Structure 1
C-alpha cells in the first residue's frame, strides 16, 4: 500500500491524502466523523475511478487517520477548512463529490464555497446539522451541564470507542448549519440512505430532500441497509449513482 502524501494548510494542519489524476471529472470522497480515508467506500471508489480513467482524491481531516491534530480538539469548521484546502490544492477542473455521513454535511458546505466547480454530488447517509439536531437535541440537562463544566461529554458509538464531543464542536456547528437557511444546489444530486441506519434516520434524508433547492435531486432508500452502506450491493449503487451524474 502506497504511503500517503501530506498537504500543509494555511492553518498549519498537516493533511494526509491519496490522489491521482484522470481525464475530465475528479471524484472527491469526503468521509464521516472519526472515519479515515482507508475505509471500504473510499478504497473501493478509488479503484473504480482509476479503472474508469477518472481523477480521485481521498484525505483525512485533521484529527482523523494520519493527519495532524487530535479529534477532540476539532470541529466542523476545521474540517470544512481542511476540505477546501485539499480540494483547492489537489484538484483541477470539474468535481463530483461523494460525501458519507458527516462528509455529506461537508459536501453541502463545500457547495456553498465552490458551486461552479461541482458537476454533481452523491451523499451516503448524509448527516447535515447533526451536532445540533443529533447531539445537542438529545443531551439531557445533566449532559448539558457536564459540557459546560468540563468542556466535553462522552457518547457511546455503535462502531468504535465512545465519541468525546466538545463544547467547541457544538458551538461551531451552530455556525455551519445548512438546513435552517436557503441551500441552493445548482447541480444534480443523488442521496442514498439505508432504512436500517441507526446513526442517521430516514427523516434526516427526507428533510434534506425537501429543504434543498435543486432541479435534479433524488433520494434512494435502501431497505435494511445500515449506516456503513458498504456491502457489495450498496457499493454498486454508489457506482451507479456516480455514473448517472458523469
Structure 2
C-alpha cells in the first residue's frame, strides 16, 4: 500500500492522500458522500494501477477520513475545489477520473473546469444533482422542518448510525453545481456503471447524464444485481475491467 501523505494548502485544511507516481494516463479516485479513500473500490483501483504501472491518487475530501477540517462546515463547492486542488498539485499529464456516487458528480464538475487534465471518466452510481432532487422528494412537513432546524436526517444502511445528517445550507449550495439542465461540454470518453438494485440513486440518472454529455464515446453499463456501493467482488472486477479497457483505448489512441 502507498504511504499516507498530506497536501498543505494554507489557509485551507490539509488533504490526506495516497499516490503512486508512474505512467499516464493515471487514475484519480473520487469517493462518495461521507466515504473515505480507504474503501474497497479505491483500494482495488490502486492495486490495479500498481500492477499496470499507472499513476494513481486517492484522497479524502476536507473534513473526511484522514483530512483536516470539519465536514459539517463543508459545501459541495468546497469538495469540488478539493478535487481541482488534487488535479493541479498531485497529478501531471492526463488523468482518468473515477467517481463513486457524489464523486461521480464531482468528476463531471472537475472535467468541466479542467478539460485539459481529464482524459476519461468512469462513474459509479453517478449522483448528479442528487441532494436537491432528493430533498424535493421529502414530505412537505419534513422540508419545512429542515428549513427551520437547518438540517435533516436521511435513513441510510451505509451509515453506522443508520442515517446521514445533511445541512439545509449544503443542499441549497449544491444547486449551484447542477449539471443536468443543459448539455455538458465534456468530449472525452465516458463510462457510466450503475447497479439496477441501487436504492439511493436510480440507474436512470446515469442515462440522463449520458444524454447530456457532448461526447459521443459514452457507454452505460448496468449491473442487474448491483447495489449503490458496487463494492462486491463481481462489482470490483467490473470496475477494474472498465477502467482497464478505457486506459487501453486511450493509450492506443495516443499511439496512432
Global fold match (TM > 0.5):
yes
Distance 1:226 1:6, change over 3 A: same
Superimposed CA distance per residue, residues 74-121 of structure 1 (whole angstroms, 9 cap, x where no aligned partner): 121010011111111111001011111100000000011111221111
Distance 2:118 2:11 in 1: 25
Distance 1:208 1:164 in 2: 27
Please name the residue that 2:142 is paired with: 143
Three-state SS of the structure 2 residue aligned to 1:205 is helix
Please name the residue that 2:235 is paired with: 234
**Map 1:93-132 → 2, pairs under 5 A:** 93-132=93-132
> How many Å apart are 1:22 and its aligned residue?
0.5
8 Å CA contact 1:9–1:82 kept in 2: the answer is no
Please name the residue that 2:153 is paired with: 154
Distance 1:225 1:172 in 2: 30
Please name the residue that 1:187 is paired with: 188
Distance 1:238 1:187 in 2: 18
Please name the residue that 2:210 is paired with: 209
Q: What is the root-mean-square deviation in Å for CA atoms of aligned residues?
A: 1.4
Figure out how many residues of one structure are paired with residues of the other and give that number.
Answer: 245
Please name the residue that 2:251 is paired with: none
> How many Å apart are 1:243 and its aligned residue?
1.9
> How many Å apart are 1:212 and its aligned residue?
1.7
Distance 1:74 1:154 in 2: 17
8 Å CA contact 1:119–1:245 kept in 2: the answer is no
Distance 1:141 1:151 in 2: 15
Three-state SS of the structure 2 residue aligned to 1:28 is strand
- Identify unmatched segments of 5+ residues in structure 1: none
8 Å CA contact 1:195–1:202 kept in 2: the answer is yes
Three-state SS of the structure 2 residue aligned to 1:14 is strand
8 Å CA contact 1:94–1:117 kept in 2: the answer is yes
Please name the residue that 2:224 is paired with: 223
Please name the residue that 2:59 is paired with: 59
Distance 2:11 2:179 in 1: 24
Distance 2:10 2:111 in 1: 20
